[in-house]
Amino acid sequence: MTEAQLIRQACEGNGPAVRTLYERYAPRVYAVVRRIAGDDDLAQDYSQEAWIRAIRALPTFRGDARFSTWLHRIAVNAALQALRKAETKDRRETSLPEAIAVRPNEGDALLEGLLERAMDQLPEGMRQVLILHDVEGYTHEEIGELLGVNPGTSKSQLFKARGKMRELLRPALAGGEDGQKGVEAWGI
């Protein structure tokens, strides 16, 4: 069955078709939402909200863009809008020790774990720009539109975020005893 057929059936309320789309794209949606939210509990709420919006808007999907791109944009918007509404800072700080969500096919590789934890520690603005640019591949112009800032601000936040990430990762990636302590301190 082609994706177009699947989408058509999902539009008609066919549960198995919706579930097939979910199983195909849920890891992608959850990943971007989790990283923007910086919190496991919020991520589940936000990703479900994204899926509800997407299924609701499915009849408007014309196929001009790839379905995955269209869905991804809905997920990013859902997460950013939910974050704006929520008082997230305190919740995120208390949720830092919690485990990163399970990956679909692989374990918690050392560097991936360090990167995810370091991202969670970035200030919200920096984290959003870093994720959208360096993880998701958005341009500064697109980020500016999504976040309501100008592209120059997006660039500036990105450079600060990369530098901050380096400072956070340096102890854990350093070799020898210091590095070992760093790795242990990060719970890897």
Partner 1 sequence: MGHLTTETLGRLVSEVPTAEESRHLDSCFFCRSELEAVREQTQAMGSLPDLRPPAGDWEALEARLAGEGLIRSSGPSLPSPRWWPTPWMQAAAAVVLFLGGAVLGPRLTGTGSVGEFAEGSGPPGIQLIPVGTQAQPVSSIADAADAVRLAEQHYIMTLLQYRQLLDAQGEPGAIGDPASRFAALEAIVAAGRAAVQQAPADPFVNGVLVGALAEREALLRTATATPGIGIF
For residue 123, the surrounding DSSP H or E stretch is none
Secondary structure of residue 94 in the 3-state scheme: helix
Does 142 bind partner 1 (CB under 8 A)? Our answer is no
Residue 11 Cβ, how far from partner 1 at the closest point, in Å? 10
Residues 6-45 that bind partner 1 (CB under 8 A): 6, 13-20, 22-24, 26-28, 30-31, 34-35, 40, 44
3-state SS record for 7-68: HHHHHCCCHHHHHHHHHHHHHHHHHHHHHHHCCHHHHHHHHHHHHHHHHHHHHHCCCCCCHH
Instruction: Examine residue 115 and tell whether it contacts partner 1 (CB under 8 A).
Output: yes
Interface residue list for partner 1 (CB under 8 A): 1, 6, 13-20, 22-24, 26-28, 30-31, 34-35, 40, 44, 47-48, 51-52, 55-56, 100-112, 115-116, 130, 134-135, 137, 155, 158-167, 169-170, 173-177, 179-180, 183, 188
